[in-house]
Chain A
Amino acid sequence: MTYRFTWNILWSGQTGGWLLQGLITTLEISAIAWLLALALGLLSGALRTAPVLLLRWIGAAYVEFFRNVPLLVWMFFWYFAVPPFLPQTLQDWLLEHSAEFWAGVVALGVYHGARFSEVIRSGIQAIPKTQLEAAQSTGLTILQAYRLIIIPIALRLIVPPATNETLNLLKNSSVALTIGVAELTFQTRQIETYTAKAFEALVAGTLIYLVLCLAIALLMSQIERRTAIPGMIARGAGES
Chain B
Amino acid sequence: MIRARCLGVWLISMLLASFAPVGAQTTLEKIDKSGVLVIGTRTGSPPFAYVNKNNEWVGFAIDLVEKAVVPALAKKLNKQIKLEKKESAPQTRIPLLTSSAVDLIAETMTDTQSRRDQVDFSLTYFVTGAQFLVKKGSPIKNIQSVAGKRVAAQQGSTNAKLIRERVPTAKLLEFPDQPAAFQALAQGQVQAYTNDGIQLAGLRAKAPKPEDWAVVGEFFSYEPYGMALRKNESDFRQLVNIGLMDAISSGLYFQLYDKWFGAKGEVPYPLSPETKRFLEMQVVPK
Q: Which residues of A contact B (CB under 8 A)?
A: 1-5, 7, 76, 79-80, 83-84, 95, 99-100, 177-180, 182, 186, 189-190, 192-199, 202-203, 206-207, 210
Residue among B8, B20, B114, B189 with max Cβ neighbours from chain A (10 Å) = B189
Chain B, range 101-134, C-beta contacts under 8 Å to A: 114-115, 117-119
24 contacts between A and B (CB under 8 A): A1-B24, A1-B98, A1-B233, A3-B99, A5-B13, A76-B180, A80-B183, A84-B187, A99-B189, A100-B189, A179-B175, A179-B180, A180-B152, A180-B173, A182-B174, A190-B155, A190-B156, A194-B161, A196-B94, A198-B91, A199-B16, A203-B9, A203-B12, A203-B16
A207 with B12: CB separation less than 8 A? yes
A192 with B91: CB separation less than 8 A? yes
Q: Given contacts A182-B174, A193-B90, is CB(A5)–CB(B114) below 8 Å?
A: no
B156 with A193: CB separation less than 8 A? yes
Question: In the assembled complex, how far is the CB of residue B11 from the closest CB belonging to chain A, in whole angstroms?
Answer: 10
B249 adjacent to chain A (CB < 8 Å): no
Compute how far the CA of A236 lies from the CA of B22 in the bound complex, rounded to whole angstroms: 47
Question: In the assembled complex, how far is the CB of residue B170 from the closest CB belonging to chain A, in whole angstroms?
Answer: 13
B231 adjacent to chain A (CB < 8 Å): yes
In the complex formed, the residue of A with least CB distance to B2 is: A5
B176 adjacent to chain A (CB < 8 Å): yes
Question: In the assembled complex, how far is the CB of residue B29 from the closest CB belonging to chain A, in whole angstroms?
Answer: 12
Question: In the assembled complex, how far is the CB of residue A66 from the closest CB belonging to chain B, in whole angstroms?
Answer: 22
Q: Which residues of B contact A (CB under 8 A)?
A: 1-3, 5, 8-9, 12-13, 16-17, 20-21, 24, 26, 90-92, 94-95, 98-99, 114-115, 117-119, 150, 152, 155-158, 160-161, 173-176, 180, 183-184, 187-189, 230-233
5 closest Cβ contacts across the A-B interface? A180-B173, A196-B118, A193-B156, A198-B95, A3-B98
Q: Point out the residues of chain B lying under 8 angstroms from A206, CB to CB.
A: 12
A7 with B3: CB separation less than 8 A? yes
B12 with A178: CB separation less than 8 A? no
Question: In the assembled complex, how far is the CB of residue B221 from the closest CB belonging to chain A, in whole angstroms?
Answer: 14
In the complex formed, the residue of A with least CB distance to B188 is: A95
Compute how far the CA of A207 lies from the CA of B188 in the bound complex, rounded to whole angstroms: 37
Compute how far the CA of A7 lies from the CA of B8 in the bound complex, rounded to whole angstroms: 13
Compute how far the CA of A194 lies from the CA of B94 in the bound complex, rounded to whole angstroms: 13
Given contacts A5-B1, A7-B9, 20 further A-B contacts (CB under 8 A): A1-B21, A1-B231, A3-B17, A5-B13, A80-B189, A95-B189, A177-B155, A179-B175, A180-B152, A189-B155, A190-B174, A192-B94, A193-B158, A196-B115, A198-B91, A199-B13, A199-B16, A203-B9, A203-B12, A210-B8
Q: Point out the residues of chain A lying under 8 angstroms from B92, CB to CB.
A: 198
In the complex formed, the residue of A with least CB distance to B186 is: A80
A180 with B175: CB separation less than 8 A? yes
In the complex formed, the residue of B with least CB distance to A178 is: B176
Q: Given contacts A1-B231, A180-B175, is CB(A196)–CB(B91) below 8 Å?
A: no
